[in-house]
Structure 1
Amino acid sequence: MRQDIDLEDEDDRDSIVRTFHKGAVLFKEGQPSDVAYIIKKGRVAIYRLVNNKRVGLGERGPGEMVGEMGAVGGAVRSSFAEAVAYTEALVCDQRLLRTMLLKSPRPVQLLTGYLVERVRALSEQITDRPSGNAFWSVCRVTALCWQGAVRSGAQDLSYAELSRTLKDILLLSQIEIDAVFDRLKKLRLVSLTDVQGSFSREDPLLGRKKPGTKFVRDRLLRLPDADNFLAVAKNVAREYRDRAEFGVDLEFFDLADFAREAQSSPDILYKKIGYREIPEELFFFHKARAQAYIEAMGLEFFRQARRPRLAAADLARIDDIVSVDNATLQEAFSALGFHKVAVALGAAGETAREKILKNLSKKIAAVVREEAAALGEPDEDEVADVEKELLDRIKAIKGLAS
Structure 2
Amino acid sequence: MMKKADVGDKTKTFHKGQAIYKEGQSSGEAYIITQGAVGLYRLAGNKRVTLALLRPGQIFGEMGVITGEKRTSEALALDYTEVIVLDQTLLHTLLLKSPRPVQIITSYLVERVRALNALVPERSSSNTFASVCSVILLAWRAAARSGPKSEAAQISTVELSRTIKDILLITQTEIDEVLEKLARVHIVDIVDVKGTYYRTDPLLGTKKKSGEFVKERLLSIPDAERFARVSRNMAQDNPDANGAELEFIDLDDFARAVDAQPETILKKIAYGEVPPALFHFHKRQALAFAASKGQDYFQRAKRPRLKVEDLQNVDDVVGVDNATLEEALSRLGFYKVGVLAALAGDEARQKIYANLSKKIASVVREEVQRMPEPDPGEASDIEDELIGLIKSIKGISG
2:58 pairs, out of 57, 64, 69, with 64
Q: Does residue 54 in structure 1 map to residue 27 in structure 2? A: no
2:73 aligns with: 80
Query: What does 1:337-348 align with in structure 2 at a 5 Å threshold?
Result: 337-348=333-344
Contact 1:40–1:89 (CA<8 Å) still a contact in 2?
no
Q: 1:130 to 1:280 in 2, by over 3 A?
A: farther
Q: CA deviation at 1:292?
A: 1.1
How far has the Cα of 1:248 moved from its partner? Answer: 3.8
Letter in 2 for 1:45: G
In 2: Cα distance, 1:385 partner to 1:296 partner = 45
**Contact 1:322–1:352 (CA<8 Å) still a contact in 2?**
yes
> Relative to 1, partners in 2 of residues 1:379 and 1:120: Cα closer, same or farther, differing over 3 Å?
closer
Which amino acid counterpart does residue 166 of structure 1 have in structure 2? Q
Shift of the alpha carbon at 1:363? 0.9
Normalised by the size of structure 1, how large is the TM-score?
0.53
CA distance in 1, matches of 2:64, 2:261: 45
Q: Distance in 1 between matches of 2:385 and 2:57?
A: 67
SS at match of 1:54: strand
> What is residue 304 of structure 2 aligned with on the other side?
308
Cα displacement string for residues 295-315 of structure 1 (whole angstroms, at most 9, x for unaligned residues):
111112112221111222333
Task: Give the superposition deviation at 1:364.
Answer: 0.4
* Cα distance change on mapping 1:399 and 1:261 into 2, 3 Å: closer
Name the structure 2 match of 1:201. none
Secondary structure class of the residue paired with 1:304: coil
- Check if 1:128 corresponds to 2:122: no
Label 1:363 to 1:17 Cα distance change in 2 as closer, same or farther (>3 A): same
Are the structure 2 counterparts of residues 390 and 18 from structure 1 closer, same or farther at C-alpha, using a change threshold of 3 Å? closer
* 8 Å Cα contact 1:36/1:94 also seen in 2: no
Deviation at 1:48, TM superposition (A): 2.0
Could you tell me how far 1:19 is from its partner in structure 2? 6.1
Instruction: Give ranges in structure 2 of 5+ residues lacking alignment.
Output: 135-184, 186-230
Aligned match of 2:201: none
The answer on whether the counterparts of 2:13 and 2:82 sit within 8 Å (CA) in structure 1 is yes
Letter in 2 for 1:127: S
The whole-number CA distance in structure 1 between the counterparts of 2:95 and 2:344 is 64
Secondary structure of 2:50's aligned partner: strand
- With over 3 angstroms needed to count, the CA separation of the structure-2 counterparts of 1:97 and 1:336, relative to structure 1, is same
Q: Deviations over 1:254-309 (max 9, x none)?
A: 44454455554433333333233333333233332221111111112112221111
In structure 1, the partner of 2:357 is 361
The one-letter code sitting in structure 2 at the alignment partner of 1:296 is S
Q: CA offsets per residue over residues 302-349 of structure 1, 9 Å max, x none?
A: 122211112223334333221111122112222334344334334434
Residue number among 247, 272, 292 corresponding to 1:296 in the alignment: 292
Matching residue's letter, 1:281: A
Paired-residue identity, %: 38
Question: Take 1:333 and 1:71, find their aligned partners in 2: how far apart are those partners?
Answer: 64
User: How do 1:71-110 residues align onto structure 2 when only pairs under 5 Å count?
Assistant: 79-80=72-73, 82=75, 84=77, 85-90=81-86, 92-93=91-92, 96=95, 100=99, 102=101
Residue equivalent to 2:236: 166
| Cα distance in 2 between the residues matched to 1:27 and 1:372 | 42
Match of 1:271 among 248, 267, 271: 267
Output the aligned Cα RMSD. 5.1
Partner of 1:269, secondary structure, is helix
Query: In the TM superposition, what is the alpha-carbon distance from 1:387 to its structure 2 partner?
Result: 3.7
Matched, 1:286 2:282: yes
SS at structure 1 position matched to 2:287: helix
Provide the rounded CA distance (Å) in 2 between the counterparts of 1:69 and 1:88: 16
Contact 2:125 2:243 in 1 (8 A): no
Change (3 A) 1:348 1:93: same
Residues 60 and 313 of structure 1, relative CA distance in 2, 3 Å threshold: closer
2:32–2:56 Cα contact (<8 Å) kept: yes
Provide closer, same or farther for how the CA distance between residues 315 and 44 of structure 1 changes in structure 2, counting only shifts above 3 A.
Answer: closer
Task: Provide the rounded CA distance (Å) in 2 between the counterparts of 1:67 and 1:126.
Answer: 23
Match of 2:144 in 1: none
In the alignment, is the contact (CA less than 8 A) between 1:29 and 1:76 conserved in 2?
no
CA contact (8 A) 1:51 1:128 kept: no
Is 2:39 aligned against 1:45? yes
How far apart in 1 are the matches of 2:277 and 2:29? 33
Partner AA of 1:39 in structure 2: I
Amino acid at match of 2:289: Y
Q: TM-score, normalised by structure 2?
A: 0.53
- Counterpart in 1 of 2:191? none
The alignment partner of 1:295 has SS state of helix
Q: Quick one: distance in 2 between partners of 1:388 and 1:104? A: 71
Give the distance between the partners of 1:27 and 1:384, measured in 2 at CA.
41
Conservation of the 8 A alpha-carbon contact between 1:346 and 1:372: yes
CA contact (8 A) 1:38 1:63 kept: no
Distance in 2, Cα, partners of 1:104 & 1:329: 76
Letter of the aligned partner of 2:124 in structure 1?
T
Q: CA 1:101 to 1:36, structure 2 compared with 1: closer, same or farther past 3 Å?
A: farther
- The answer on whether the counterparts of 1:341 and 1:368 sit within 8 Å (CA) in structure 2 is yes
1:63/1:273 CA distance change after superposition, 3 Å = closer
SS in 2 for 1:336: coil
Match of 1:329 in 2: 325
Cα 1:125/1:31, change in 2 over 3 Å: farther
- Measured in 1, the distance between the counterparts of 2:310 and 2:118 equals 59
Contact between 2:95 and 2:103, CA under 8 Å: does it hold in 1?
no
Instruction: Flag the 1:373–1:69 CA change in 2: closer, same or farther, 3 A.
Output: closer
Give the Cα–Cα distance (whole angstroms) in 2 for the partners of residues 163 and 272 of structure 1: 32
Match of 1:352 among 344, 348, 351: 348
